[in-house]
C-alpha cells in the first residue's frame, strides 16, 4: 500500500470526534474558513454541556467564542431549554442575529409548539409559515379557536393521506367529526390506508367514529393487526361480509409469518366459514406456501411448485432453492434455479449455488467455469468461489481525485458546510448531518464527492461511506472502510481476544461509522449495543458507565462491543460467522436453526437462514472482515477459514496463515448488475 495511506491513517487518528483537526497538515483547516482551533473546540464542548441546562451559566465558559462558527448553537440550546419562560421578543432577537441558521429555525419551531401549549393562537398565527403535520394541525387549532370552520379539501385532504398523525391533530379531527366532515366513506378510506401500513392505533381510533353498526367491523380489523391468533379464533363468530373476510385474511397472513404450522391448522375453519373470492384464495395459498417454506415444512417444495405461475415471485423462487439447499437435494437446487427468469439466475448467489449443485452432481468442469466467473468479484460469493478454486482474491483499489481548489470554493461558498464539519469535529454528529444535508441540497455530484472527501479527511467517515456506495466509488476502499486509530479498535479487539478485522467489520456493518446510530431495537452507537447489555458488560469488566450516553462514546462502545463479541464467541468455539449470526439474530434463534438443520456446510447454512436481514448481515460481516484484513495486513485470511463447521473450534491464523491479494493489470470490464449483485457489490451499506 502506498506510504500515503499510512501517513493519512496516522493523521486521521487525531481527528474523529476528538475536536482536533490540527493533524491534517493544515489541509482541511486552511481551506475551511470556519474551522476552529483545538482550544476553541474544547471551550465549546464545555459551554455546550452548560447550555443544555439552560440559563446563562454557559456564557462565562463561552467568553471569546462570540465569533466562533458554532456560537449560535450554544445560545440556541439554552433558549430551547428555557422555552417556557421565553417571550416573542427573545425569539425574534435571536432569529434576527442568526438568520437562516438551523438553531434559529429550531428555536422558531420550538416556540411555535410552546405558543400552542399556551394556546396563544394569535401569537402562533402571527409567526406560523408551515412546517410539517404537527405545526399544520396547531395552525388548524388556532383557526378553530378563532371561530373558523374546516373545509375538508382545503384543510384535511393532505393529512387524511397519512396512516398516522401526531397528537396535535386529535382536536382537529374531533372538530372535523363534529362538523360532519368525517363521513363513513372518508373514515373507511383512511382505515384502509392504515391497515395497509399496519397502523393499529389509527384503525382502532377511527373505527369508534363509524356508525354503530360498522364499529364492530373496524374492531375486527384492528384485532387482526394486533392479535392475529385471537382474531382467527374469534372469526368463527363473525358475519360473512367483505371486510370481515379481509380481516380474517389479514390475520391469517400475519399468523403465517409468525407460525406457518398454526396458520395451516387455522385455515380449514376459516375456509368453510367465509365465501372467498378466487383472488383471496390465491393470496391465502401464496402466504401459506411462502411461510411454510420459510419454516422449512416437509411439504414446502411441493406447495411452492404447486402455486399458479402468476403467483410465482422472486421470493417463492428463492425459497424453493433455499428449501432444496437445506435438504441438500442438489438436483432440486438445479431445477429450482433453472425455473427462475434469467435475471434472477444470473445473480451471484444463485450462480454460486448452481456451481455447488453441479459440483455435488459430479459436473466439476461446469462448476469450475461458474466459479471462475465469480472469483474476480470483491464480494462474499466471489470470495467463496475463489476459495473453491484456491485462487487469490481480487481487490482492485482506486483513489478518488482530491480537487483542493474545488473543495476550497465549496467551503467558501457554504457556511453550512463549514458548520457541518465543525459540528462533527466537536462531537455533535446529528447536528452535523442536518447542516450537511441542507448545505449540499442542489449541489452537483462532483461537489458532493469533494465534500465527502473533505469529511473523510476530517475523520467524519460516514459521509464518504454513504457517498461512495455505488459506481466507481465502490473501489475507494480506503474511504469506504476506514481504519480509525484514535479509539483503539485494534488494541481493544486484542484485549478482548477477537480479530481486529472482524471488530472493524462489525462496526462498519452495524453503524457505517455513525457514532450516534440508534436502531428501532434500542441499540446504540458504533457496535449497536442495547443499554442493558452495555451496563452489564461495563460492570463485569470494570469499564466506565455513565448511563446510556456512554454507548455514544466511540471508545467506550468499542471496548464494550469487542468484549460482547468475545463472550458470544465463547458459545460457538470462537467461530466468527456463527457469532455474527447470533450477534444479529440472537443466540436462541441461532440455536433453533442449528437444531432444525444440523450438518449443513456453513455456506449452505447461511443461505438457509430464515431471516433476510440476518442472511445479509452474515454475508456483509464476512465480506467486510476480508476487506479489513487486507487493509490491516495487505494479505487476507480466506473467507472459508472464517467459516468452520458448527461445533468445530475456530483457530485464528498463525503467522503466515494469510494469502496474498491480487489485482489484474487489466480488470475485466464491469458487467450489467442485477439488483442482488448491486447489493452484494455495495455491501448493503
Q: Where are the domains of the chain?
A: 489-662
CA distance 680 to 466: 15
Q: Which residue is it, cell 465527502? A: 452
**Neighbour count for residue 541 (Cβ, 10 Å):** 13
Range 616-644 average pLDDT: 96
Cα 199 to chain centroid, rounded: 21
Give the pLDDT score at 681: 43
Residue among 39, 88, 29, 78 at smallest CA distance from 55: 78
Give the pLDDT score at 31: 56
What DSSP string runs through 364-377? HHHHHHHHHHHTTS
Question: Average per-residue pLDDT in the chain?
Answer: 91
SS3 call for 657: coil
Give the pLDDT score at 440: 97
The three cell numbers locating residue 23: 493533524
CA distance 352 to 333: 11
Q: Which residue is it, cell 411452492? A: 304
Strands 393-394 and 659-662: parallel
Give the pLDDT score at 12: 36
Percent of residues, the chain, with pLDDT higher than 70: 92
The three cell numbers locating residue 632: 490491516
SS3 call for 34: coil
pLDDT higher than threshold 70 for residue 683: no
Residue among 82, 123, 81, 129 at smallest CA distance from 105: 129
The three cell numbers locating residue 613: 436481514
Buried b (16+ CB within 10 A) or exposed e, 406-415: bbbebbeebb
The three cell numbers locating residue 163: 396512516
CA distance 510 to 514: 9
**Residue 47 buriedness (CB in 10 A; 0-12 / 13-18 / 19+):** buried
Range 481-490 average pLDDT: 87
- 1, 8 in Cβ contact below 8 A? no
Give the pLDDT score at 655: 61
DSSP classification of residue 524: B
pLDDT higher than threshold 60 for residue 354: yes
Range 41-45 average pLDDT: 97
Range 449-454 average pLDDT: 97
CA distance 359 to 17: 50
CA distance 159 to 138: 13
Give the pLDDT score at 16: 36
Annotated active-site positions, please?
510
**Neighbour count for residue 470 (Cβ, 10 Å):** 11
Strands 635-636 and 659-662: antiparallel
pLDDT higher than threshold 60 for residue 563: yes
User: In angstroms, how far is the first alpha carbon of the chain from the final one?
Assistant: 24
Range 667-674 average pLDDT: 44
Give the pLDDT score at 166: 96
Q: What dotted CATH number matches 489-662?
A: 1.10.530.10
Distances (CA, A) of 659 to 298, 636, 642: 42, 5, 13
pLDDT higher than threshold 60 for residue 560: yes
Range 34-51 average pLDDT: 94
- 183, 190 in Cβ contact below 8 A? no
**Residue 436 buriedness (CB in 10 A; 0-12 / 13-18 / 19+):** buried
Range 591-598 average pLDDT: 96
**Neighbour count for residue 349 (Cβ, 10 Å):** 23
Give the pLDDT score at 486: 75
Give tens-digit pLDDT for 416-438: 999 999 999 999 999 999 999 99
**What is the edge-to-edge ordering of all strands in the sheet holding 635-636?**
393-394, 659-662, 635-636
Side-chain-facing half-sphere of 622: CA atoms under 13 Å: 29
Residue among 487, 640, 625, 490 at smallest CA distance from 556: 487
List of residues 6+ apart from 369 with CB closer than 8 A: none
- Report the chain's C-alpha Rg in angstroms: 29
pLDDT category of residue 71 using cuts at 50, 70 and 90: very high
CA distance 607 to 186: 46
Give tens-digit pLDDT for 289-308: 999 999 999 999 999 999 99
Give the pLDDT score at 11: 32
The three cell numbers locating residue 165: 398523525
Inter-residue long-range contacts of 593-599, CB under 8 Å, 24+ positions, other chains counted? 594/646, 596/296, 597/296, 597/326, 598/646
Length of the chain: 685
Give the pLDDT score at 29: 52
Ramachandran angles phi, psi of 644, nearest 5°: -70, 155
Give the pLDDT score at 487: 76
Give tens-digit pLDDT for 115-137: 999 999 999 999 999 989 999 99
pLDDT higher than threshold 90 for residue 674: no
Amino acid at each position: 500500500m502506498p506510504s500515503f495511506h499510512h501517513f493519512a491513517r496516522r493523521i486521521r487518528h487525531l481527528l474523529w470526534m476528538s475536536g482536533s483537526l490540527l493533524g491534517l497538515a493544515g489541509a482541511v483547516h486552511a481551506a475551511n474558513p470556519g474551522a476552529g482551533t483545538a482550544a476553541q473546540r474544547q471551550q465549546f464542548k464545555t459551554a455546550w454541556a452548560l447550555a443544555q441546562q439552560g440559563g446563562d451559566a454557559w456564557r462565562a465558559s463561552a467568553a471569546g467564542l462570540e465569533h466562533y462558527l458554532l456560537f449560535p448553537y450554544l445560545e440556541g440550546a439554552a433558549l430551547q431549554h428555557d422555552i417556557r419562560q421565553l417571550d416573542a421578543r427573545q425569539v425574534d432577537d435571536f432569529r434576527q442575529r442568526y438568520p437562516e441558521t438551523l438553531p434559529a429555525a429550531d428555536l422558531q419551531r420550538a416556540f411555535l409548539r410552546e405558543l400552542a401549549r399556551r394556546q396563544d393562537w394569535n401569537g402562533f398565527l402571527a409567526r406560523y409559515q408551515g412546517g410539517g403535520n404537527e405545526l399544520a394541525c396547531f395552525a388548524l387549532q388556532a383557526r378553530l379557536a378563532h371561530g373558523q370552520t374546516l373545509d375538508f379539501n382545503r384543510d384535511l385532504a393532505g393529512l387524511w393521506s397519512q396512516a398516522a398523525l401526531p397528537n396535535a391533530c386529535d382536536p382537529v379531527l374531533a372538530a372535523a367529526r363534529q362538523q360532519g366532515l368525517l363521513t363513513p366513506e372518508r373514515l373507511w378510506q383512511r382505515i384502509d390506508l392504515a391497515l395497509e401500513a399496519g397502523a393499529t392505533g389509527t384503525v382502532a381510533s377511527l373505527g369508534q367514529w363509524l356508525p354503530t353498526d360498522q364499529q364492530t367491523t373496524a374492531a375486527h380489523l384492528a384485532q387482526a393487526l394486533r392479535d392475529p391468533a385471537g382474531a382467527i379464533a374469534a372469526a368463527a363468530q363473525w358475519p360473512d361480509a367483505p371486510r370481515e373476510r379481509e380481516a380474517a385474511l389479514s390475520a391469517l397472513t400475519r399468523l403465517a409469518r409468525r407460525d406457518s404450522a398454526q396458520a395451516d391448522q387455522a385455515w380449514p375453519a376459516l375456509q368453510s366459514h367465509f365465501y372467498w373470492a378466487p383472488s383471496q384464495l390465491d393470496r391465502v395459498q401464496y402466504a401459506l406456501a411462502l411461510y411454510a417454506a420459510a419454516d422449512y415444512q416437509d411439504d414446502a417444495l411441493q406447495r411452492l411448485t404447486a402455486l399458479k405461475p402468476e403467483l410465482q415471485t422472486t421470493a417463492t423462487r428463492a425459497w424453493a432453492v433455499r428449501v432444496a439447499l437445506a435438504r441438500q437435494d442438489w438436483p432440486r437446487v438445479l431445477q429450482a434455479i433453472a425455473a427462475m427468469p434469467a435475471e434472477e439466475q444470473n445473480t451471484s448467489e444463485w450462480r454460486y449455488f448452481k456451481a455447488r449443485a453441479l459440483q455435488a452432481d459430479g459436473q466439476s468442469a461446469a462448476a469450475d467455469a461458474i466459479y471462475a466467473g465469480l472469483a474476480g468479484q470483491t464480494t462474499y460469493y466471489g470470495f467463496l468461489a475463489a476459495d473453491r478454486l484456491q485462487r487469490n482474491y481480487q481487490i482492485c483499489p482506486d483513489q478518488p481525485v482530491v480537487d483542493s481548489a474545488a473543495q476550497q470554493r465549496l467551503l467558501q461558498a457554504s457556511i453550512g458546510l463549514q458548520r457541518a464539519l465543525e459540528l462533527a469535529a466537536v462531537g455533535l454528529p446529528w447536528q452535523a448531518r442536518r447542516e450537511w444535508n441542507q448545505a449540499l441540497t442542489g449541489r452537483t455530484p462532483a461537489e458532493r464527492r469533494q465534500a465527502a472527501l473533505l469529511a473523510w479527511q476530517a475523520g467524519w467517515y460516514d459521509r464518504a461511506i454513504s457517498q461512495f456506495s455505488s459506481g466507481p466509488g465502490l473501489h475507494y476502499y480506503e474511504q469506504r472502510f476506514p481504519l480509525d486509530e484514535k479509539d483503539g479498535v485494534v488494541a481493544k479487539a486484542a484485549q478482548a481476544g477477537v480479530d481486529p478485522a472482524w471488530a472493524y467489520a462489525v462496526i462498519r456493518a452495524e453503524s457505517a461509522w455513525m457514532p450516534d446510530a440508534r436502531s428501532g431495537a434500542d441499540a446504540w452507537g458504533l457496535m449497536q449495543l442495547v443499554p442493558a447489555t452495555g451496563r452489564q458488560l461495563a460492570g463485569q469488566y470494570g469499564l466506565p458507565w455513565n448511563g446510556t450516553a456512554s454507548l455514544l462514546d466511540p471508545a467506550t462502545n468499542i471496548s464494550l462491543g469487542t468484549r460482547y463479541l468475545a463472550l458470544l464467541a465463547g458459545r460457538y468455539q470462537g467461530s466468527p460467522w456463527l457469532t455474527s449470526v447470533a450477534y444479529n439474530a440472537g443466540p436462541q434463534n441461532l440455536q433453533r436453526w442449528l437444531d432444525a438443520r444440523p450438518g449443513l456446510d456453513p455456506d449452505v447454512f447461511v443461505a438457509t437462514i430464515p431471516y433476510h436481514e440476518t442472511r445479509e448481515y452474515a454475508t456483509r460481516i464476512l465480506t467486510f472482515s476480508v476487506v479489513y484484513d487486507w487493509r490491516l495486513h495487505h494479505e487476507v485470511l480466506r473467507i472459508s477459514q472464517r467459516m468452520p463447521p458448527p461445533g468445530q473450534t475456530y483457530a485464528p491464523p498463525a503467522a503466515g496463515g494469510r494469502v496474498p491479494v491480487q489485482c489484474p493489470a487489466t480488470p475485466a470490464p464491469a458487467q450489467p448488475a442485477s439488483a442482488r449483485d448491486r447489493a452484494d457489490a455495495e455491501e448493503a451499506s
